[in-house]
A and B are shown apart, each in its own frame.
Chain A
Amino acid sequence: MPKGRLLSRCAIHATLIVFAAFYLVPLVVVMLNSLRSTEDIAHAGVINLPRHLVWSNFSQTWSSYCISEHCTGIQPYFWNSMRMVIPATIVSTMLGALNGYSLSLWRFRGDKFVFGIMTLGVFLPEQMRLVPWVIVLRDLGLFNTISGLVMIHTVQGLSFTTLFCRNYYVSIPQDLLKAARIDGAGFFRIFWRIVLPLSPPILIVTVIWQFTGIWNEYLYGVTFSTGEHQPITAALIAFSAHLSDAPQYGQQSAAVLLAAAPTLLVYLFGGRYFVRGLTAGAVK
């Protein structure tokens, strides 16, 4: 390798490593701090190594921490989020696949227009729907329940999942369906036998996208639920507001890490699909 080239290679790596460090600092800091005592952190700062390892932060945060009068740890909020994210992800993905199929392959008059309206849903700010949701949830008796949040995220998610699936199904050749139709296959048979077997890549992308988006969502959680019915993002904020006078950095770090863990794990194992979802969602 010529000398100039070697030098430029080194410069590239050096720059990338500096940036990588900038990206990793917050994660490393939280991980280290989750193993430090609050006194240690308050005394030596958040950007420091643990003086001695404190493992109890996790158990305390998980099961005995107090968030405004409820001393149950973040455990119930974590499970709230799980009970919200799993059904909402599954249902919105299934319906999105059906929608995508009927809009792209089955076709009907005005399908493009309908699709256009649904895509608008991706861009509408959440603020535009808060008040209507409050009224609808109240009338259905679902205010401050996990089922209510499941419903909201399912309906909200439809725009995204339909967009993903429709754009993927468009590339399935129409001839394949025509042949099947001539053989007498109907709507469901074609979906089940032809479209679904071709779908795993887009379904994985959609599931990952929905799971991450719903788990991380905050505004709906804090608006439509209170107290012990809140998902973990809302609970985290309540947690730090409650502690603003006497922060418990050690335990809060553990809480933050536990709240971030599910989506980080999904990213770690499904990163490839995650990026694909990103490009699918952004570039249309």
Chain B
Amino acid sequence: MTGRERWDRIAPHLVIWPPILVSCAYVLLFSAWTVWISFTRSTLMPENSWAGWRNYSIMLATRNWQIAYTNLFIYGGCFVVFTMAMGLLLAVLIDQRIRGENVYRAIFLYPLAVSFVVTGTVWGWLLNPSIGLQKMMHDLGWSSFRFEWLIDRDKAIYTIVIAGVWQASGFAMALLLAGLRSVDGDLLKAAQIDGAGATRTYLRVVFPTIGPIFVAVMVMLLQFAIKTYDLVVALTGGGPGLASTLPTVVVYDFMFQRGDLGKGSAAAVMLLGSLAFVLVPYGLYQRWKRRKAGAHA
């Protein structure tokens, strides 16, 4: 083998492996590292003294963490339900072959291009009772109008739902619309011949066939919900008090504001656990479906 040939065989490997190794190491080692720190007594600096499950039990007993998870359930539930509902409604309306489809689509999707920091800041102004919606209603003469969710402990979490739905329903719309458009034309024709009206066709033929996409979008949205961070920081800062805090906010708080890396990491690992709780069953379901499809083919 000449030197040139040898080089030709080696060179690709020099290009293939570094990015792949970096990427895999990043996923595996960094995760393992954080898991390790969560089992140590690390505070301001990472340490290697074993603490067992202590960080986890302390975090689970912390009020912040409990409130954050309660909030996550409220926010996640409302966010997914309303985003799906709005996305589906918009997708079905746009699916009626209307004029100006592209304009509507562009309007419903632009929030996705904007950062949560921007979204949160602007919704913070709109929902601020002294300058936003409430103020406008008062100036219009409806002086008994009250909309103070942003400063109301029991309602602050719902302001995040509003901003979140605003930002994500275009995403749901785009994916569901793609699903609606992929429904077999013959199937629709058959339904029409059977005399099924539009509503019936949607309920009986179209929605069942896009079921898998429906589930996929829901899983994506749940994942967004669990990862939501910037939006809360920009919109409410987690307040008033802890009223709208989320697990992600608590993680950052423990890691970098209280200087408690061990507990912060334990919280991050539990956050990962919540994500896995959503994604692993979905992944298994996908695999099962693919295997079934493979068996039939």
Contacts and interface: CB of A to CB of B under 8 A. Distances in A.
Interface in B196-221: 213, 216-217, 220
Interface string B10-30: 011001100110111011111
Interface of A: 9, 12-13, 15-16, 19-20, 22-27, 29-30, 33, 41-42, 44-48, 95, 98-99, 102-103, 106, 108, 114, 117-118, 120-121, 123-133, 135, 155-156, 158-159, 162, 186-188, 212, 215-219, 223, 233, 236-237, 240, 249, 252, 256, 259-260, 263-264, 266-267, 271, 274-275, 278-279, 282-283
Interface in B96-111: 96, 98, 104-111
Given A187-B11, A260-B118, A282-B175, 20 more contacts: A23-B166, A26-B122, A42-B131, A44-B139, A48-B136, A98-B15, A102-B15, A120-B27, A125-B248, A126-B229, A127-B267, A131-B261, A133-B30, A187-B15, A217-B115, A219-B229, A236-B117, A237-B117, A278-B174, A283-B216
Given A99-B20, A159-B27, A259 B117 contact: yes
Interface string B106-128: 11111111111111011101101
Contacts of A26: 119, 122-123, 126, 166
Contacts, number: 240
Interface string B211-241: 0010011001001001101100110000000
Interface of B: 8, 11-12, 15-16, 19-20, 22-24, 26-31, 33-34, 37, 46, 86, 89-90, 93-94, 96, 98, 104-119, 121-123, 125-126, 128, 131-133, 135-136, 139, 166, 170-171, 174-175, 178, 213, 216-217, 220, 223, 226-227, 229-230, 233-234, 248, 251-252, 255-256, 261, 264-265, 267-269, 271-272, 275, 279
18 contacts: A23-B110, A118-B23, A118-B27, A125-B268, A125-B275, A127-B255, A128-B34, A129-B34, A135-B46, A155-B23, A159-B23, A187-B12, A218-B234, A223-B252, A259-B115, A259-B118, A260-B115, A271-B106
